[in-house]
């Protein structure tokens, strides 16, 4: 069953703690993305990666970090430096990226709440 | 920076009527324009897309039109049904990023 899997679905964190959100895909896609979704704000790009061992900052990268050690995995760490981390986080992948991008396939999302 | 603007933010239409959502983009190099639908509590899913070498694409009750000169594209839904109620997002690539509009919440009224 091919697709993109995010975990956990719900996560609670205390202020000052780092937390890592998992994103795995078995679609053999090159490009992977992390978006943050807040009410009325649409989908804002945090980080993206076109190829293994390479990634770039999106529009709201401050307070986040990522790694791309394997093609199928693109974990996102929300650090204590992120001032307002409570949000819905969506991971996505596409066969290729950039101006030749095609359909994005999204995971089911991870809802992070900071207590 | 490059951006994608989407209007309206909320749209209510009577069941059976048509709905139109518009997006403008700033990067003239953008060449791929998708529309995603996100139902409540679910992930966004692609419903239709268009590449810059065509001006219109249709799939049953939904269509997308593109005006590259004016840098805008629109989603048209005809004969709306209750299951069309959702949030719709447009997107466009800029450089090697994919940027989304802020979304339109579509309400279908009985």
- Flag whether pLDDT at B41 surpasses 90: no
Angle at A38 between CA B94 and CA B30, to 5 degrees: 10
DSSP string, B14-65: ETTS-EEEEEEE--TT--EEEEEEE-TTS--EEEEEEETT-SEEEETTEEEE
pLDDT for B19: 98
Residues of A in contact with B5 (CB under 8 A): none
CA distance to A18, A64, B16, B44, B100, per residue, from A35 (Å): 18, 11, 34, 12, 10
State the Cα–Cα distance between residues A83 and B99, nearest whole angstrom: 23
The count of C-alpha atoms lying within 13 angstroms of the C-alpha of A93, restricted to the half-sphere facing its C-beta, is: 24
- Average pLDDT for B81-95: 94
Distance from CA of B80 to the nearest CA of A (A): 23
Question: Stretch B56-81: mean pLDDT, rounded?
Answer: 96
Chain B nearest C-alpha distance from A10 (Å): 13
User: In this structure, are residues A57 and A47 in contact, taking their beta carbons and an 8 Å threshold?
Assistant: yes
d(CA A6, CA A24): 7
pLDDT at residue A1 is higher than 60? no
- Chain B interface, mutation test: which of A10, A42, A97, most B Cβ atoms within 10 Å? A42
- Mean pLDDT for chain A? 92
Q: Which pLDDT band, with edges at 50, 70 and 90, does A57 fall under?
A: very high
Contact of B76 with B64, CB cutoff 8 Å: yes
What are the tens digits of pLDDT across the range A58-89?
A: 999 999 999 999 999 999 999 988 889 999 99
Q: Is the pLDDT of residue B96 over 90?
A: no
Nearest CA in chain B to A89: B43
């Amino acid at each position: 069953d091919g697709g993109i899997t995010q975990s956990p679905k719900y996560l609670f964190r205390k202020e000052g703690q780092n937390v890592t959100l998992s994103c795995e895909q078995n679609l053999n896609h090159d490009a992977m993305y992390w978006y943050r979704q807040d009410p009325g704000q649409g989908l804002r790009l945090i980080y993206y990666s076109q190829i293994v061992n390479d990634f770039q900052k999106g529009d709201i990268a401050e307070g986040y970090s990522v790694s791309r050690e394997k093609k199928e995995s693109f974990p996102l760490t929300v650090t204590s430096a992120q001032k307002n981390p409570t949000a819905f986080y969506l991971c996505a992948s596409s066969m290729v990226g950039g101006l030749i991008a095609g359909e994005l396939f999204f995971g089911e999302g991870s809802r992070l709440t900071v207590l | 920076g490059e951006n994608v603007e989407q209007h309206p933010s909320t749209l209510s239409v009577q069941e059976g009527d048509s709905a139109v959502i518009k997006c403008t983009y700033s990067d003239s190099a953008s060449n791929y324009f998708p529309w995603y639908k996100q139902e409540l509590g679910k992930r966004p899913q692609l419903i239709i897309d268009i590449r810059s070498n065509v001006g219109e694409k249709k799939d049953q009750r939904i269509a997308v039109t593109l005006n590259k000169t004016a840098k805008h594209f629109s989603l048209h839904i005809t004969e709306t049904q209750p299951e069309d109620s959702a949030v719709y997002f447009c997107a466009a690539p800029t450089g090697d990023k994919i940027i989304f509009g802020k979304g339109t919440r579509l309400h279908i009224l009985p």
